[in-house]
Structure 1
């Protein structure tokens, strides 16, 4: 794939990058759900591996949503005032997702405490998270990608903001398998 060189091509790439980030997050969540399913089926996924996998996924998702709330949504609201209700709704979704991630982390922290129901609770939270994220991502892509592609954001010309990256910028402790440029 050729790197965009003109400002119009570069800005257009940000909307497309959002879709790529969402695809990566969907894939990571599917992998996490597969790990839980394997554990429940008596497979090789050990409970102590699940918290580490969840931490990497949850951190990436939180970074993405925090960046949208702090950078992209204010810029979009300023340049496209008609999008403000959509952006407010997406921000509310981010809070709900954050609450689910906290509950999920608490459940994962308790795995291995000989509570046979614990992995099923983790699975239920992941199922709810997957349903919410699929709806959220689809809605967000449908409503704001075109505006993001048209966004005049001179500060983004040199490098995309962190919320448009799939890998942590400053975290070296995440495995190379979780890193995508």
Structure 2
């Protein structure tokens, strides 16, 4: 829960298109909504930010306290966050920076807002610098119009494929960089890094949400009207369980991504790609024709009769 002071800032921010008075007047302020690492509940926090090119940076300073702020621990558990900037609201992927990039961006943040240097001086904790990146996979373009449930399902599948493809591209690039290193300087770290962790965790959480929704709502609804497809839905449920096992393995590796065996992670990611793409292909072949005439979004339920 936001403090009463934070809540008053949030209300003023939303009422005035991002403008606030008091200690934040004239400053660069955004609202960051994260999902609780333990509670799963959404919490909104007003934060100062610094621009770096097209990127937005937030520093987990916690005013120089010895512990990371709650919002930082939340985004490590749930990387997709909501950002309110001025009158705009959008989703972002929150990626803590590492190594030389963290040093460069922290120095940039200090030049823009010298108070961050004071906060760093108060604590032995290295203040995390978080980049708020676009949540959409690279190259993703949403369809212009979705009017059927078949088109909506295909949109979600395309999103998942693009997310997985981007994770694989980043992992492959990591292996290429390690193989190509000849010095001087240190080779890429043996782990895969927070960029890959956050992107892959976001993919795993999107996939879990999608398959849970299908198992609990979409598939039972279709099955009631197509009892002859019992074997099809049994196969899809089995494939969901297989994909979920791989997903749980990936999430376990992501817990310690900095020291996880990258070869094992690479192999599990390839296995996920093979299984998931085969599953999506089969689902589209069997299910999409059944949804081609179902309107999206669904019509609202009829109101009470007068």
The TM-score with structure 2 as length reference comes to 0.44
Bigger Rg, which one: 2
Please give the per-residue CA displacement for 1:137-156, whole angstroms capped at 9, x wherever unaligned: 11000001111234599x93
- Equivalent residue, structure 1, for 2:254: 108
Counterpart check, 1:157 vs 2:157: no
Counterparts of 2:203 and 2:257, CA distance in 1: 17
Counterparts of 1:150 and 1:2, CA distance in 2: 15
Contact conserved, 2:146 with 2:152, CA < 8 A, in 1? no
- Equivalent residue, structure 1, for 2:160: 25
Name the Cα RMSD after superposition: 2.5
- Equivalent residue, structure 2, for 1:8: none
1:83 deviates by 1.5
One of 243, 253, 273 as aligned partner of 1:130: 273
Structure 2 portions without partners, runs of 5+: 1-143, 179-187, 301-306
Counterpart check, 1:48 vs 2:191: no
Contact conserved, 1:15 with 1:146, CA < 8 A, in 2? yes
1:42 deviates by 2.4
- Equivalent residue, structure 1, for 2:221: 75
Q: Aligned ranges for residues 1-12 of structure 1 at < 5 Å?
A: 1-2=144-145, 4=147
Compared CA separation, residues 28 and 3, structure 1 to 2 (3 A): closer
**Larger relative contact order (C-alpha < 8 A, sep ≥ 6)?**
1
Counterpart check, 1:96 vs 2:96: no
Compared CA separation, residues 88 and 3, structure 1 to 2 (3 A): closer
Structure 1 portions without partners, runs of 5+: 5-12, 159-181
Compared CA separation, residues 80 and 35, structure 1 to 2 (3 A): same
Contact conserved, 2:201 with 2:254, CA < 8 A, in 1? no
Matched residue count:
147
Please give the per-residue CA displacement for 1:31-70, whole angstroms capped at 9, x wherever unaligned: 0011111122227895122221111101111111000000
1:110 deviates by 2.4
- Which has the larger share of helix? 1
Counterparts of 1:23 and 1:110, CA distance in 2: 29
Compared CA separation, residues 38 and 85, structure 1 to 2 (3 A): same
